[in-house]
Structure formats: C-alpha cells, structure tokens
C-alpha cells in the first residue's frame, strides 16, 4: 500500500502509479496543468512522497523550512521513502513535466537525435526555404526524402538506409558541423549548403535561401502580454520547485539503479537549473557536492546520462563560473571530459529499450555507431571543455591562494 508519511489513507501501488501517470500526461506538451499544480503546492506533496521527514519537521521550526536550508544540511537530513522503481519513475517524470521545457538549440540540439524513434520532440527545429516572392516555407515533417549520397556514413546510418524525415537529416548535419547535405526528391537532386544557407538544385543550378528557426522563436514573436505574464509566473513557480526538490532529485539519482529513473532525474535537474535564477541556485546547491555528482555522471556508460551531464556542466559554468570553474577541476569533471575526447573511448548507442525502467543507451552496438556517438558528444562538450580549461587556468591562482586543493 502507498500512502503519505503521516499515516493517512493509503491506496494500492497500481492506483498510485496510475494517478501519477495521468498527471504526467496532463502536464506534458506545454499544458497549463503544470503551472496550476505548482500553484496548488504540489511540490510539497511530491517532497513528502519522496522523503520520510523533511528538514523543517526535524528542526520543528517553521522559520527554517527545507526550502531555505542549505544544500549540505538538506542532504545530511534526507531519508528517502521506500518506493518501487515504477513509483519513482512516475514521480520523477511528473517533476520534470511540471517545469518549462528546454530549448532545442545550442547544447540541447542533440536531444532530438537521441530521442526514441516516434517520441514527441518538444520545441522542434524548423528548417525553411524561401520562394521567389520572399515567402518562407517549412520543410514538412511528412516530407520524406531519400538520401542519395552522404559524406559522413556513420552520421546518417543513425537514420537507417531509406526514407527519412528531411528536417532530421538537415538538423543532424547542422549539429555535426557538416557543410553540405545532398538529397534526392522524385529523381531530382539538390544540395543544402549549410555554410551559405542555400538550397542548390543540381539540374538547373538554381539557389534559394534556407533558414533554421525554433518553434519557440516563432511563438515568442507572436506572444501576447497575457501569455508572457503566464510564462514569467511559470518560471517563478519553477524556481520555488527547485528549492524544494533539487537536493531530493540528486539523492534519488544517487540511490536509484534504474536508468529510466536516472534519466528523469537528469532531465528535471536540467530544466530546473536552466530556468532558475542564479541567486536561487546559490541558495539551493552545494558546489562541491554537485561537482562530484557531475563527475560521476560523466563516468557512466550510459550515453544519455553522459550527454545530460555535459549539458548540466555547461549550464552550471554559464550561471556560476567562478564557483564551478574551480570545483570542476578539483572534483574531476574536466578529467572525465578529457577522457571522453579519447578516440579509443568505447562510447556508442544501442537500440532504445521499450521498458521505461530499463531504458538505456549502452555500449554494445555496432562499431560504426561508436563514431556517431562520439560525434554528438564532441558537439556537447566543445564549449564546456574550452570554457572549463580557461576557467581552470585562471583559477590556479585562486587554488594556490586558498592553500591548495
């Protein structure tokens, strides 16, 4: 039976999991249900479902709640409830869906390429071409084109030989740094030059401009004052949720063996860190503890965890460069990044498991996929490694002044 920690009414595990899953579905895909649940203080409910006794209860003082306590104090006081893997999977899924989605550009562009085939991709990238009248048209999602030739075999093997969605082909080449993509449509070949951003037809030599847009950019351009107010309110509610649950998510990640739960925890952490202001993060996290956890994530054999850790590292360096620039070096984050750049590092991806609890990208797929995985990892860590190395060099004086590591 599953109930609250105060001895209240209990329900069966199956009923509990079903109810939480319904909330996950209702809160997903940019629904307004997520903000409404946050307004009803669901964050406290979720914390009570995961933690036996909150820090506020232990101290028995209303003025020293768990949300305002230091990260280290919360970690020391946390005692997780006994939950089945399926319960933890649904709870962590709900926590992630309560927060705004991540962007699809920059360090998060690789997420669309790692998604399970057929999965809904939030905030997708749109590729458009311009006609003679100056109007922009989107390459249709149902517009399947056959790849006639390609220069990076391992890159497009990911999409399997045959018909593929054209926007995924173009986006994959963009992410990988390819300059050209050659496609065939109804027997006619054309080249997309991603450097000059033009589509060139091989039969006539005609060129027309192309552009890359995010759905969020198009939505923001037409966003009303009311919609902007709702978005700002959602971000404020997310910051409050991060205060309550960020330390709990790290503890759940550390104690959970199932990859599905770990993937959900990282997804929720990424959303919280991305959308939470710096001043709130400084009150909520412990830099040494989180740096150590990131180093552990980077040493995982799970590609999705590695990519998530690289994205998290980049976000933390952007928001708190002085703090994490030093501790990433001390806790071995940069060392793990250097190991990932080793061409002999056996990082590759396998087919995605249908089971949410067993879902994981492993290192047992064909050799050709190894190069593909490293290509995506390189994309994710380039900025991190460059910035982290610069920060660590500039922080040597700080370490020395502090008496060493």
- pLDDT score at 320: 93
Measured over the CA atoms of residue 282, residue 283, residue 287 and residue 290, the dihedral's sign is negative
Q: If you classify domain 124-220 with CATH, what class do you get?
A: alpha beta
**Domain residue ranges of the chain, discontinuous segments joined by +:** 1-101+223-275, 124-220, 286-405
Query: Whole-prediction pTM value?
Result: 0.70
- Is residue 246 within 8 Å of 268, Cβ to Cβ? no
Tokens of 20: 């939480």
User: Tens place of pLDDT for every residue, the chain, 405 residues?
Assistant: 455 554 556 788 999 999 999 999 999 877 899 999 999 999 999 999 999 864 444 444 444 444 444 444 555 567 888 999 999 999 999 999 999 988 877 788 777 777 766 666 655 677 888 888 988 887 764 444 444 343 333 333 333 333 446 766 787 788 788 888 887 766 778 888 999 999 998 888 889 999 988 776 666 666 788 888 998 999 999 999 999 999 999 999 999 878 999 999 999 999 999 999 999 999 999 999 999 999 999 988 888 899 899 999 999 999 999 999 899 999 999 888 888 877 776 664 443 343 344 444 433 333 334 434 444 454 445 545 555 445 444 444 333 333 333
Cα 310 from chain centroid (whole Å): 10
Query: What is the predicted pLDDT for the residue at 202?
Result: 82
Maximum distance among all Cα pairs of the chain, rounded to whole angstroms: 78
Distances (CA, A) of 206 to 43, 127, 132, 209, 373: 56, 19, 11, 10, 35
Token code pair at residue 80: 């997780």
């Amino acid at each position: 039976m599953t109930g609250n920690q105060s001895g209240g009414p209990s329900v069966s595990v199956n009923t509990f999991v079903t109810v939480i899953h319904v909330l996950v579905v209702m809160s997903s895909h940019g629904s307004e249900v997520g903000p409404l649940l946050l307004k009803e203080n669901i964050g406290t409910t979720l914390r009570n479902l995961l933690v036996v006794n909150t820090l506020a209860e232990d101290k028995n003082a209303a003025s020293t709640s768990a949300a305002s306590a230091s990260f280290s104090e919360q970690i020391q006081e946390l005692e997780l409830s006994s939950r089945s893997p399926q319960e933890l999977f649904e709870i962590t899924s709900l926590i992630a869906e309560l927060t705004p989605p991540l962007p699809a550009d920059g360090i998060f562009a690789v997420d669309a390429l790692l998604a399970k085939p057929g999965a809904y991709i939030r905030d997708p990238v749109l590729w458009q071409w311009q006609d003679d009248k100056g109007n922009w048209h989107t390459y249709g999602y149902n517009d399947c084109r056959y790849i006639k030739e390609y220069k990076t075999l391992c890159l497009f093997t990911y999409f399997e030989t045959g018909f593929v969605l054209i926007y995924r082909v173009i986006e994959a080449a963009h992410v990988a740094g390819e300059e050209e993509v050659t496609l065939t449509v109804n027997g006619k070949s054309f080249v997309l030059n991603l450097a000059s951003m033009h589509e060139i037809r091989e039969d006539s030599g005609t060129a027309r401009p192309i552009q890359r847009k995010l759905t969020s950019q198009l939505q923001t351009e037409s966003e009303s004052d009311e919609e902007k107010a709702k978005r700002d309110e959602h971000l404020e509610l997310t910051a409050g949720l991060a205060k309550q649950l960020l330390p709990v998510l790290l503890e759940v990640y550390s104690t959970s063996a199932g990859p599905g739960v770990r993937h959900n925890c990282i997804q929720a952490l990424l959303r919280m860190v991305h959308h939470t202001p710096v001043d709130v993060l400084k009150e909520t996290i412990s830099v040494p503890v989180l740096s150590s956890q990131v180093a552990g994530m980077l040493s995982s054999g799970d590609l999705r965890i590695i990519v998530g850790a690289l994205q998290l590292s980049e976000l933390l360096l952007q928001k708190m460069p002085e703090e994490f620039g030093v501790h990433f070096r001390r806790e071995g984050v940069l060392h793990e990044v250097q190991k990932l750049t080793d061409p002999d590092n056996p990082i590759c991806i396998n087919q995605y498991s249908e089971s949410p609890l067993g879902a994981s990208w492993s290192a047992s797929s064909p050799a050709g996929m190894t190069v593909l995985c490293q290509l995506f990892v390189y994309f994710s860590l380039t900025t991190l490694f460059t910035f982290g190395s610069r920060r660590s060099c500039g922080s040597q004086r700080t370490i020395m002044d502090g008496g060493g590591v």
